Amino acid sequence: MNERGIVYKKLTQEMVDAICDRHERLWSGRGGGARASFAYCLAEGLNFAGRDLSDADFTGAVLVSADLSGCTLNSASFFGADLRRSILGGASLRRADMRGAILRGADLTGADLSETDLREGTIAQVDKVHGLAKLSHEKRAGEMETANFTGANLSRAKMAGVAAQKADFTDAMMMGTRLVRANLRATCFSGANLEGADMSGADLTDADMTDSILVGTNLRMARLDGADRTGALTDEIVGEDVSQLDEPVADLIAAHMLWCETNGAKGKPSVFDGADMRGLRSLAGKTLTAFQARGATLYGIDLEGAQLQGAKLERADLRMACLRGADLRGADLTGARLNNADMRDCKLGPLLLAADRLLPASLAAAKVRYADMRGADLRHLKGTGADFSYSKMNGADVRKALFTGSCFTGTKIGSRFREDIGAADGAVDLDAA
């Protein structure tokens, strides 16, 4: 019987560059273009970094230790590909077909895998009955043991049945991700957003789920022996239930707005310290000067355009909140959690109290990881000891802002950032930002 299997073609860097060039010519509408096909090719350790290879074919390709960082790979096919120890940091893999791909030890830090298919599937090399190479799809669990998905976007990705033991999903966006019956033993989900994810029947033995978001997460029949869910945000009320207050929340908010509009002549200021305010959903455009919600849970709340001058929001949970265009001059957000918050065009500058007195806003010791702060006013900001890792701060006004001891790992900053700020002694990774 003929045992002929799949014949792999070995590529050189020059061959890869030529294929990529033709693919980019095709997408740009220039002559001489052709869709890139790396199917059943050996490209171990080769460089694809920064290329636009959307819709390219990597079926069955061997890409061990290849550099695909920053690549655009939307809708590309990696069916059954071997991506062990490959570098995919910052790559865009939206709606890619990665069924049966081997991702053991791969680095996907900050990659966008939204709606990507990572379910089981592999290539059968030999048809033992007819003796011919048969390129059919057989089932095999997607292998991603020890893979690094830190900060990756896996929202609505299909990962049913995957084997991802000891993988790292720290701070990953996994909203609506399907992880049914997945093997996730000793996997790290610390700080990950698993809102609406389906993890039914998954094996989460010894998993690290500290500070994760498990709102609406389906954990039916999941194995959770030894799983650490300390600090995880679930559907359960955190702290004080605002529905149990003496007055309806809507009335308290209305009274606060009246107090602001009449300069204190009518109404009264509201205090929501330690309250779970997720049920409000939106306070967009509201005038809530001196709003007080220390240690409150405001996860995902819409505060776009709200007037929050002088607000007291120390240690508040504002992850996924929309603060776009909000006026937070002089606000105190010391120790607040603002991971993945939309803070574009937000005003976090100083509040003028008198002709010669300014009250700076504070983000001291706050966690502002993966936040979008483009165009924000951060003048005179007290950002000492804050974690701005992987946030977008390019275009922000940072004149005289203080960032002593802050962390800027993977942060995007403007060209004049270092010249404009007031201090950054002991800042981490600022030179690499």
- 367 assigned to some structural domain: yes
- 219 assigned to some structural domain: no
**Residue showing tokens 């693919």:** 23
Residue 327 is predicted with a pLDDT of 98
Angle in degrees, CA 109, 321, 156, rounded to 5: 50
Q: How many distinct structural domains can be found in the chain?
A: 2
Is 268 found in the same domain as 159? no
- 250 assigned to some structural domain: yes
- 380 assigned to some structural domain: yes
Residue 279 is predicted with a pLDDT of 87
Is 135 found in the same domain as 277? no
CATH number of the domain encompassing residue 17: 2.160.20.80
**Residue showing tokens 């306070």:** 283
Is 429 found in the same domain as 293? yes
- 79 assigned to some structural domain: yes
Is 140 found in the same domain as 266? no
Is 258 found in the same domain as 152? no
Is 299 found in the same domain as 413? yes
Taking only the tens place, the pLDDT of each residue in 363-392 is: 999 999 999 999 999 999 999 999 999 999
Is 147 found in the same domain as 295? no
Domain stop point among 113, 140, 168: 168
Domain containing residue 105: 1-168
Domain stop point among 168, 194, 211: 168
Q: How far apart are CA 313 and CA 21, in angstroms?
A: 52
Is 266 found in the same domain as 129? no
- Asked whether 48 and 28 are in contact (CB, 8 A), the reply is no
Is 353 found in the same domain as 254? yes
Is 249 found in the same domain as 164? no
CA distances from 57 to 36, 81, 96 (A): 6, 10, 10
Closest CA to 331 of 354, 316, 350, 311: 311
Q: How far apart are CA 138 and CA 96, in angstroms?
A: 19
- 212 assigned to some structural domain: no
Neighbours of 129 (CB within 10 A): 8
The pair of structure tokens assigned to 265 is 């002549």
pTM: 0.89
Residue 123 is predicted with a pLDDT of 58
Q: How far apart are CA 430 and CA 426, in angstroms?
A: 9
Is 248 found in the same domain as 161? no
Domain stop point among 114, 147, 168: 168
Q: How far apart are CA 305 and CA 29, in angstroms?
A: 42
Per residue of the chain (433 residues), what is the pLDDT tens digit?
A: 334 467 899 999 999 999 999 999 998 888 889 999 999 999 999 999 999 999 999 999 999 999 999 999 999 999 999 999 999 999 999 999 999 999 999 999 999 999 999 987 655 554 555 444 444 444 444 578 899 999 999 999 999 999 999 999 999 999 999 999 999 999 999 999 999 999 999 999 999 999 999 999 999 999 999 999 999 999 999 999 888 888 889 999 999 999 999 999 999 999 999 999 998 889 999 999 999 999 999 999 999 999 999 999 999 999 999 999 999 999 999 999 999 999 999 999 999 887 778 899 999 999 999 999 999 999 999 999 999 999 999 999 999 999 999 999 999 999 999 999 999 999 999 987 7
- 298 assigned to some structural domain: yes
- 179 assigned to some structural domain: no
Is 133 found in the same domain as 9? yes
